[in-house]
């Protein structure tokens, strides 16, 4: 029995060293940092996909999407141009409905669509009740 005790003590010492060296501050910092980096990369990719989602907006075909507006969680109103005709359609999961055929085509000039930062800032402040 005396011979087994030092061997048991050595095994316990080795197990304690391995266990304590596994959870050092440097190791935990590396694991948490790696996890944080992966989460940041995933969020960045999701934001880029949301920002640059250009499915269906090609300009080379016969059908062109002029405008799109969300109506609900998964519903949208989309203004399409097919040749010279414009059509307003409602798009929902598994369903596309023609809402209106536009007799006078809608067109926007560049001056109407591009706003300066000052105009956007003034509009946002006026909506919040701020005075300028």
Q: Which carries the bigger pLDDT value, residue 132 or residue 73?
A: 73
Q: Which carries the bigger pLDDT value, residue 71 or residue 12?
A: 71
In the prediction, which pLDDT does 32 show? 94
CB under 8 Å to 102, separation ≥6 — which residues?
Answer: 79, 85, 86, 87, 88
Q: Which carries the bigger pLDDT value, residue 106 or residue 69?
A: 69
| Number of domains the chain is built from | 2
CB under 8 Å to 16, separation ≥6 — which residues?
Answer: none
| Residue 26 lies in domain | 4-51
In the prediction, which pLDDT does 43 show? 95
Same structural domain, 115 and 67 = yes
In the prediction, which pLDDT does 111 show? 45
CA angle (10 as vertex; 8, 13 as ends), nearest 5: 110
Q: Which carries the bigger pLDDT value, residue 51 or residue 6?
A: 51
Same structural domain, 43 and 66 = no
pLDDT digits (tens, 9 = 90+) for 22-68: 778 888 899 999 999 999 999 999 988 887 765 555 556 788 888 88
In the prediction, which pLDDT does 77 show? 92
Same structural domain, 87 and 34 = no
Q: State how far the Cα of 77 lies from the Cα of 80, in Å rounded to an integer.
A: 10
Same structural domain, 67 and 47 = no
Closest C-alpha among 90, 83, 91 to residue 61:
83
């Amino acid at each position: 029995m005396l011979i087994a005790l030092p061997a048991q003590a050595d095994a316990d010492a080795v197990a304690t060293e391995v266990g304590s060296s596994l959870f050092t501050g440097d190791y935990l910092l590396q694991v948490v940092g790696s996890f944080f980096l992966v989460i940041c990369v995933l969020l960045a990719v999701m934001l880029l996909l949301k920002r640059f989602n250009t499915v269906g907006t090609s300009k080379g075909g016969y059908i062109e999407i002029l405008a799109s507006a969300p109506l609900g969680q998964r519903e949208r109103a989309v203004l399409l141009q097919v040749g010279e005709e414009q059509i307003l359609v409602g798009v929902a999961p598994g369903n596309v409905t023609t809402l209106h055929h536009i007799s006078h085509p809608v067109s926007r000039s560049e001056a109407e669509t591009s706003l300066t930062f000052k105009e956007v800032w003034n509009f946002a402040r006026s909506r919040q009740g701020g005075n300028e």
